[in-house]
Amino acid sequence: MPKKAKKEKGIGPGLSKRIIEFLQEQDKDLKEIARLAGTTQKYLSEVLAGKKGFSEKHLENLQQETNILLHLAPVLAGELARRGGKKGSDLLMYGINPLAKMACSMMARILGD
């Protein structure tokens, strides 16, 4: 029996779409966002349609190029407050972990650890 493909960690389509919309508000077009994320415009179209979300690697690429974590902090806090309860903890467990992991990793690099 073939092994099941391991699902790559990342965030859901809703939050991924909000990231794209934020970057578009910063005068970046889909071609530029795709380049920054290390993906294709077709993939971004699927994100915008709610079919896919960004992987941890996409988020790392965007962070290196745009410092997106700093800009997303209010959005993430608002999303947790809006969802509340179990859904909020699900977002924390599955949605923010890649962002939190990247933030901690970046702080360690900045502090020289």
Query: What does DSSP assign to residue 3?
Result: P
Please choose, from the candidates 64, 81, 84, the residue with its C-alpha nearest in 3D space to the C-alpha of residue 73: 81
Residue 65: phi, psi to the nearest 5?
-90, -30
- Domain architecture of the chain: domains with CATH: 13-111 (1.10.260)
What's the whole-model pTM score?
0.66
Q: Give per-residue pLDDT as tens, 61-89.
A: 998 888 887 777 776 666 555 555 444 44
When pLDDT is cut at 50, 70 and 90, the band that residue 103 belongs to is low
